[in-house]
Amino acid sequence: MAARPFVPLRDCERLTILQSMRVLLVSALIGLCLGVDAAVYKIVNPDGTVSFSDRPQAGAEELDLGNVQTISSPTPVESIEPVEHDAPPDYDIFEVVSPKNDETLRDNGGVVKIRLTIEPRLFRDHTISISMDGKELGGGGRSDGITLQNVDRGTHVVHATIVGKNSEQVSSTLPITFHLHRASVLSSP
């Protein structure tokens, strides 16, 4: 039998073959993914406690989980944890970010959220003292904010101070003035 001569493929034939190979590859990958299935087993221990495993054991009951919904974990929020430093601390940013200066808030419950920005994070031996109208609202904390309830209507001044381990003032924010409006029902005489 004589050998067949080599005949080059035309571009359209080459494209058809590539598309067929791509469909075959995707189908194979989907088939592999569908074949992955993990079983979960429920085990009741002699003391009555229940545990779960992915490996079958004597007396284990296989659970039918159906379609399991999965979600990705949210990005962790950076906390205001203390940081160890050898050099004397300097804060690049320490300010009241909420409410804004001269902002008017409207809340009939008198709810005011005070939020601070601190950079770098609060040093280990330091605490934060937040004051409103010259009165401390809860000093000695490490939180970067506070939510106040039932604040009287009117104009208020807020500022915060970072206090060191020997009760010395390390840093202070500029005072922020805000105005709180609350609805009023005046009774008729």
pLDDT at residue number 54: 79
Domain ranges of the chain: 38-65, 93-181
For residues 143 and 136, the answer to whether their CB atoms sit within 8 Å is no
Write the pLDDT tens digit of every residue in 137-183. Answer: 866 688 888 888 888 889 999 999 888 888 888 888 999 999 998 88
Instruction: Looking at the structure, give the CATH architecture of the domain made up of residues 93-181.
Output: Sandwich (2.60)
Greatest pairwise CA separation for the chain in angstroms: 120
For residues 75 and 94, the answer to whether their CB atoms sit within 8 Å is no
Nearest to 120 by CA among 161, 86, 92: 92
Amino acid at 128: I
CA dist 52 to 41, 66, 104, Å? 6, 16, 55
Write the pLDDT tens digit of every residue in 56-84. Answer: 888 888 887 777 666 666 666 555 555 55
Nearest to 153 by CA among 127, 181, 177: 181
Give the number of other Cβ atoms within 10 Å of residue 46's Cβ: 6
Cut 0.75: pTM above it: no
